[in-house]
Amino acid sequence: MRLLLALALTVILGTMGVAQPPALAPAPKAVKSTRVAVFVGEGARKTKGPVSEVIETFQGYEVELISAADIRDGKLKNFQILIQPGGSGSGQAKDLGADGRDRVKAFVKGGGGYVGICAGAYLASRSYDWSLHILDAEVIDRAHWARGTGDVELKLTAEGKQMFGVKKDAVTIYYGQGPLLAPGKDAAIPDYEPLAAYETEIHSKGGAQPGVMKGTTAAARGAFGSGRVFCFSPHPEKTNSDDTRAMLKAALVWTAGKK
C-alpha cells in the first residue's frame, strides 16, 4: 500500500510541475594502472634510479623495485612489465641465476612485457650463454663493447616515427656502451622489427674501430611467446628531451599490449 501511495504522489507532483531531483550519473570506472617492475639487483642500480623516476611521471603507471630473489619467488605475476635497466648484462644474469632467468622467460612467454635498456638489451639477446634469448638479436663487435659514452644521433624508421609519435627523422640520445644489435638467425624466435638505427657512432675507447656502430639497430621490438619484448641499446631515460621520454613511454604502452 505504501509503495502505491508513493507512486501516486510522484505522478501528482509531476503533473503539478514540481521539479523532480535529477538522476545521478553513474560513477566513472577507475582506470587500472599498469604495474611496472624495475630490476635493482647486481648489475643494476640498487637504489631508485632514472628509469623509475621517469616512469613515475607517466600517468597510469605504478613502479616497484624488484630484486632477483623476488623474481625467483614468483613475484613477477603481480606486474605487466619488467624493466631490466642499464648496468651489466652478465651481472644481472648472474644475480638472477638460472632459475631467475627461467622465471623471466616464462613471464614474457606467458604474456608479460619486457623492456631492456642497454645492459637489459644485452640480457635479452641470444648472443651469450647467460642471455635470455627472448629477442632474435645478435650483438656484433662484442670484443669492443667498452667503446665509450656520449650523445649520438638515432635515425628512426617509418614504423619508429609512427610508434614513438616523433616527427623528426633523427633524435639525439645518450649512449652508454649498449649493444650493437643485428638480426639473429634463431628460427624459434620471431624476427625483431627495427625502429631506430645509429646514425652517428662512438669509438673512442677499447680499440673500437670507426664504421662499425653506424647503421646497427638501436631500438627494436619483437614477440616471444604471448609476450612482447622491447630493447633500447642507448638510454632514453638519461636523455632530458621530450622525444626520448616519448620513446620510453611508447615502449611501455606497446609492451603492455595497449593501443
Tens digit of each residue's pLDDT (9 = 90 or more) over 105-138: 999 999 999 999 999 999 999 999 999 999 999 9
Task: Convert the pLDDT of each residue in 27-45 to its tens digit.
Answer: 444 457 999 999 999 999 6
Residue 250 has pLDDT above 80, yes or no: yes
Cβ atoms 170, 196 nearer than 8 A:
no
Superfamily for domain range 33-255: Class I glutamine amidotransferase (GATase) domain (3.40.50.880)
Reference 253, options 165, 180, 172, 167; nearest CA is 165
**Residue 148 grid cell:** 665509450
**Residue 45 grid cell:** 642500480
Specify the pLDDT at position 92. Answer: 97
Specify the pLDDT at position 49. Answer: 76
Specify the pLDDT at position 6. Answer: 45
Reference 176, options 122, 132, 128; nearest CA is 122
Specify the pLDDT at position 4. Answer: 43
Could you tell me which residue, 23 or 94, shows the higher pLDDT?
94
Model confidence, pTM: 0.87
Specify the pLDDT at position 189. Answer: 94
In the three-class reduction of DSSP (H, G, I as helix; E, B as strand; rest coil), residue 166 is classed as coil
Specify the pLDDT at position 31. Answer: 52
In the chain, where the domains are located: 33-255
Amino acid at 152: V
Specify the pLDDT at position 8. Answer: 44
Specify the pLDDT at position 47. Answer: 63
Cell numbers 603492455: residue: 256
Q: How many CB atoms lie within 10 A of CB 9?
A: 10
Over range 81-87, report the average pLDDT: 96
**Residue 108 grid cell:** 614474457
